[in-house]
């Protein structure tokens, strides 16, 4: 596969699978604890993780499940290829396709059989389900995590940049808009 093809593939993946996000503005009537949580969520989003309210969990992601005052149930769990996670008391729980908030509700509902009013928090500690592949005349070809709003330049930087053999004048981007493929110089 030549460099131009590799760049086109990286660009297509970045544009096709990138998610947009909005940072939620804090409401004026928030408590100090809510303001801290909103601030932490904004910081997490700025560092490259997705806003938990919008992010759909996928296979190979790693989740942090915290059940208030129940340390033996709280843990980090990987999402298996079948989209499920394994938890004490509940066994297998479908996680892929849900937001962390939706999964919190599912887990809390399941735990109600074993404890009174369980308070469950789910956070995504590692995003591994969305990946791009950069190949061709780059320093480190391979799979890389697709971060929110990632550009083609950032994808190439993830791979260590071009080698000395890359033909930089043969670069173009393929983009799909309205179901049609467009070639951009």
Query: Start-end ranges of CATH 3.30.1950.10 in the chain?
Result: 50-126
Residue 150: what are its φ and ψ, rounded to 5°? -65, 135
What 3 state SS string does the chain have?
Answer: CCHHHHHHHHHHHHHHHCCCCCCCCCCCCCCHHHHHHHHHHHHHHHCCCCCCCCCCCCCCCEEEEEECCCCCCCEEEECCCCCEEEECCCEEEECCCCCHHHHHHHHHHHHCCCCCCCCEEEEEEECCCCEEEECCCECCCEEEECCCCCCHHHHHHHCCCECCCCCHHHCCEEEEECCEEEEEC
Q: Is pLDDT at 40 greater than 80 in this prediction?
A: no
Answer yes or no: CATH 3.90.550.10 is held by domain 50-126.
no
Q: How far apart are CA 177 and CA 182, in angstroms?
A: 7
Q: How sure is the predictor about 135, in pLDDT bands with cuts at 50, 70 and 90?
A: confident
Model pLDDT for residues 157-183, shown as the tens digit of each residue: 999 999 999 998 887 777 778 989 888
User: Partners of 148 in the beta sheet?
Assistant: none
Question: The whole model's pTM is what?
Answer: 0.60
Q: Is pLDDT at 59 greater than 90 in this prediction?
A: yes
**pLDDT score, position 146:** 83
Give the residue among 157, 133, 160 at the shortest CA–CA distance from 144: 133
Q: Which residues contact 7 (CB under 8 A, 6 or more apart)?
A: 136, 152, 156, 171, 172, 173
Model pLDDT for residues 60-119, shown as the tens digit of each residue: 999 999 999 999 999 999 999 999 999 999 999 999 999 999 999 999 999 999 999 999
What tokens were used for 67?
């059940």
**pLDDT score, position 24:** 35
Torsion sign, CA atoms 74, 79, 83, 84:
negative
Q: How far apart are CA 43 and CA 47, in angstroms?
A: 6
């Amino acid at each position: 596969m030549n460099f131009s093809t590799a760049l086109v593939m990286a660009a297509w993946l970045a544009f096709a699978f990138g998610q947009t996000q909005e940072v939620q503005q804090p409401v004026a009537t928030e408590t100090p604890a809510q303001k801290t949580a909103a601030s932490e969520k904004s910081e997490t989003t700025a560092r490259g993780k997705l806003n938990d309210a919008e992010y759909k969990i996928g296979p190979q992601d790693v989740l942090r499940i915290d059940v208030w005052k129940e340390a033996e149930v709280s843990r980090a769990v990987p999402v298996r290829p079948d989209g499920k996670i394994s938890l004490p008391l509940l066994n297998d729980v479908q996680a892929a396709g849900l937001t962390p908030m939706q999964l919190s509700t599912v887990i809390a509902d399941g735990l109600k059989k074993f404890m009174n009013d369980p308070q469950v928090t789910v956070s995504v500690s590692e995003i591994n389900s969305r990946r791009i592949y950069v190949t061709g005349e780059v320093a480190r070809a391979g799979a890389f995590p697709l971060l929110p709003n990632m550009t083609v330049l950032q994808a190439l930087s993830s791979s260590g940049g071009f080698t000395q053999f890359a033909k930089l004048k043969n670069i173009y981007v393929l983009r799909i808009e309205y179901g049609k493929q467009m070639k951009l110089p």
